[in-house]
Each structure stands twice: as structure tokens, then as C-alpha cells.
Structure 1
Amino acid sequence: MKQSGLAKKQYWDDVYGALSDTNGADWSPRGYEERVLGHELDRVLRHFRPASALEVGCGDSPWLPYLAREYRLEIAGIDYSERGCELARHRLRQSSTRGTVYCRDLFTLSPEETGTFDLVYSLGVVEHFADLNNVLSRLLRFVRPGGVLFTSVPNLRSLHGLGMWLYQPEVLKKHRVVTRDELAQTYQRLGLSGIRTGHAGLASVGIVSRGVQPRFRRLDGLVAPLAQGANILFQMIMKRLPITGGLPWLAPFIVASGVKNDPGVPASQENVRRGRDGS
């Protein structure tokens, strides 16, 4: 992630600095929000069957060892927070997973340094940049021709965005509100084919980060336990309801995937060969 983004490097250093080392040896998507993202990633992985994947914004990522284990992927990650990279490497070591974590600014790391990847994915990164086209074009440079770019952003034009505005407006300022149409149009502008976009997840209680720059700090001691209790109840309910799709005003995530066309193959042929039209 770039220093000139809406969320500066110090913000991420502080976020990761508050975390302790976590044993990632047996992590899997168990919480509802994680299962929703896991479902969307699984859809892409099973359809395109990539051999390698790069996670952009991989600080403290449990997804790297999980994807390597479950899908036998060659994995790598990029983040510019030293503490975030340290935590990501710790998870790889704990799970005895081979992978590379590049502790570099996304905009200073050249594709030649990392090779090219069948799948490049980000889970809550591009919304921290004012220029969506610029950051997605940078991610696309790491995708090999015929490979896939997968993007997930929080759905902030929803009740979740309202909750963030009420509870933590300073955190909201570090986000760009990205809509499904805007994400699809940017993918199209960048020349991807087989584009698929959608709202993911029924709802979420945990997407608004408790305790992070709350508007009313004195009330946080009351709000945080109530939110934690509500989240526990929500997770218990959603375990019994395998719902991954959602309504635009309620879904916690917006996702998009698309194929980077091979320069030697016309875009129309690439659409037929590799993907489906977005819905």
C-alpha cells in the first residue's frame, strides 16, 4: 500500500502494532465474514485453477497459509508495514508454509521482482486510495496474461457505512466509498474480460472495527462489550444459515473478478475461453 494513500503507513503500523503473534497453523474461515470471502475466493479458485497467488496488503494475513494448504498454491504477499509483514511471516512459519512476503511499497515494487501470478487478490485494500483506476492498474501489472484479478472492498454505501460514520468517522475518512458499478466500470476500463461483480454476505456486525478511533471514547467502554455480544450472537445464527449473497444496502462486501487478456488473443475470444460476463 502506498504512503500517499488515504490511510498512511503510520496508521497500519499502529493497527498491526496492537496485534500479537497468532498461531496460524490451522486457521480456516470460521467467522461469517471470513466464510463469505472464502466462498468468493473458492469460486474463483475452482473456476480458474491458478497455480500461484499474490496477496496485496498481506499484513498479518491468515489467507496465505490457508490458500497454500487448501489449494496447493505457490503464494506470496506484499505489504509496506514492517509489523504487518512480520506477523504474516510468523503465520507462514507456524503453518510450515513456504511463501514470500515482500515488505515494500506496492508502487515501488516492480513486477519483475516478483514474477507474474495466476491470481492477484486484495481483501480490503483499494478503497484506501483516492484513485481507484491507478491502484487497480498497479495490481493488474502483477497478473500474468490469462490470469485473474480479484478485489474485495467493504460496502460502505450501506448500513455498515452509516455505522462507521456514527462510531468512527476518522476511520471512515481513510476509506473511499466504492460502489459495485464503479468497480465493474474500472475493471472494464482496464481491459479485463469475463468480469463478475456482486454484493457478498447477508450482513455483518464485525465489519465496523470496535475500539479503533471511536467518536466518543468515553462511551466505548459500553459500546464495545455490547457490540462484541451482538457479534457472538450473530455468528451463532449465521452458522445455521449458509447465506453468502446479499442486498446492496446490507451486504458487508463488494467483490469483483476479471481476466487479464492475453495480448495475442482477441478480447471476445478470451471472454469465451476464460470467464463469464458479470452480472
Structure 2
Amino acid sequence: MGDKLTTKTYWESYYSHNHADKKHIKTVCGYYNDFWKTFIDSKNESSTIIEIGGFPGRYLAYLSSKFKLLPTCLDYNSDTSQIEASFRIMNVETYSVLQKDFTKYKTPQTYNYVLSNGFVEHFEDYNHILDLHVDYLAPKGRMLIMIPNMRGYIRFYKYLVDYQNLKIHNLKCMKLKVFKDFAQRHDLKVIHLGYFGGFPLGVHQKSNLFQKLIYKGHRLVFKYVANRLLLKKPSRFFSSSIITILEKQ
């Protein structure tokens, strides 16, 4: 398919620094612990999990270590060293890495858990990409999909200070209705669907003086005041993510 909004080179450059640090992994992934507990049935040890677009592997390594899962990472990046390092640092000894293009690969097996984080929104035909996820899900299996939310006020902020990052995301998929319709198409039970997180302050490009002032102003407002409120009451205008957990009937 030719509808990718990013390239392999982009992702290899984006994650060029080593992310296999245990403290960093626990901090980043632990932020979502309440969702992981809903997603994973901790009673079923040695269940299988696959992450779609899993590079550099930190979320998959974290979940596999925490819940004693058998992980598979599917990603088309040519460098698997960071994925393997993430597993090692989290003491996960048994794992698989599939260097495949998700849009073309046909899975020979299904998994108890399917994780997709920051993947769907990088395609024009996001509905087709969502539909392909279902091929990986075993009966009674669960799927967690997380994408950034760049609509509402966030879009205005990104346009001013992070436009290069904004334009490689498909904002059309960043609506709860997209996931409600997806669940309905495939008769999936919706366990959770909603917005989550504080305001996404991060900037992925060099900033001029004007942009730095905008960033610092927003940082003062959100990091020290508003984000505390957003974590208690998420907003479609200001919260950073959309998260859904679905179950196959």
C-alpha cells in the first residue's frame, strides 16, 4: 500500500537513540498501568501478545515482563537491536521479532493480546489498517489501540510549534466514533473507549524564538496546573491520547 504518511528511514532516525533503559521504560509504560490491568488478564500466564509497529519494543517488553506473556514484535524497521535490548533489560528471555510490512504480511497465527500504539494514525486509509488488526486476534482475545489526539486545541498548538510532526498524522482517525464503528464492523465488545492524558507539550522540531515562547507559556499552564485536572477528567480538546480496549466475541 502506498498510503503511509511516514517512511522506514523516518522511524529509524526518530528512534536512533537507545531507549533500552529499565528506569525509563518503567516510567514511560507505568503511566498507563490502570489500562494495562484492564487489558491483560493476569491470571493467564504465558498468554501470547503481539505489538503492531512495536519498535523500539519498550511497551511490549514492559508488559511481557509484568504479566509473564510470550511476546512477538512486528515492525518493518531493519534494526532489531533496540527491540532485543528492551527485552533483555526487562529480563524477557523468550520472544519473537517479525521484520514485516504490516500492510502486506499475512499472519499464520492469532494472539491472546494485540497491542497497537501510535500506529494507525500514520496511514491515509486508517479503517483498512484497523481492520487488518483483527486478523491477529484470537477468539476471546483482547486488543488495545492507543493513538495520539491532535484535534481540538492541540491542533492549534501543534500547528504553531510542531507542524512537521502534525502533518505526518492523520487527524481524521482521532475521533471516538472511528473506534465505535470499527468495533461494530467486527462485532468486538468495547471494554473501554475514551480520551486520556495531559496536554502534549512535546515539540519534535527546531524552534524559533516565537515558538519557544509559546512552548514555555503552555508548559507553565499545563504542566504545573491544568494537567492535574486533565488526568482526573480527560478532555477531547486537551488530552493527549485516545485509548480503546476491545474484546473478540
Q: Would the TM-score normalized by the shorter structure come out above 0.5?
A: yes
Q: Is residue 53–residue 73 contact of structure 2 (8 Å, CA) maintained in 1?
A: yes
Alignment partners' CA distance in 1, 2:127 and 2:56: 26
Deviation at 1:121, TM superposition (A): 1.1
Q: Following the alignment from structure 1 to structure 2, what is the Cα–Cα distance between the partners of residues 111 and 125?
A: 18
Contact 1:75 1:99 in 2 (8 A): yes
Distance in 1 between the 2:98 and 2:225 partners? 37
Pair 1:11–1:64, CA change in 2 (3 A) = same
Residue 159, structure 1, aligned to residue 144, structure 2: no
TM-score, normalised via structure 1 length? 0.75
Matched residues in 1 for 2:213 and 2:2: separation? 32
Which residue type is aligned with residue 58 of structure 1?
G
- TM-score normalized by structure 2? 0.83
What's 1:274 paired with? none
Q: Could you list the runs of 5+ residues in structure 2 that have no partner in the other structure?
A: none
Q: Distance in 1 between matches of 2:199 and 2:71?
A: 29
For the residues of structure 1 that align with 2:191 and 2:54, how far apart are their CA atoms?
24
SS at match of 2:244: strand
Could you tell me whether the CA contact under 8 Å between 2:161 and 2:215 is conserved in 1?
Answer: no
1:24 to 21, 35, 58: 21
Match of 2:242 in 1: 254
Distance 2:157 2:78 in 1: 30
Q: Secondary structure at the match of 1:106?
A: coil
RMSD of aligned residue pairs (Cα, Å): 3.1
> Does 2:199 correspond to 1:204?
yes
Query: Which residue does 1:14 correspond to in 2?
Result: 13
1:166-245 matched pairs, under 5 angstroms: 166-177=160-171, 178-201=174-197, 203-206=198-201, 208=202, 210=203, 212-214=204-206, 217-219=207-209, 222=212, 226=216, 230=219, 234=223, 243=231, 245=233
Change (3 A) 1:147 1:42: same
The 8 Å contact of residues 80 and 104 in structure 1, kept in 2 or not, is answered as yes
Is the CA contact 2:190–2:244 (under 8 Å) kept in the aligned structure 1?
no
Rounded Cα–Cα distance in structure 2 between residues aligned with 1:221 and 1:198: 30
- Partner of 1:127 in structure 2? 121
Question: What is the percentage of aligned positions where both structures have the same residue?
Answer: 20
- The CA deviation at 1:196 is 2.9
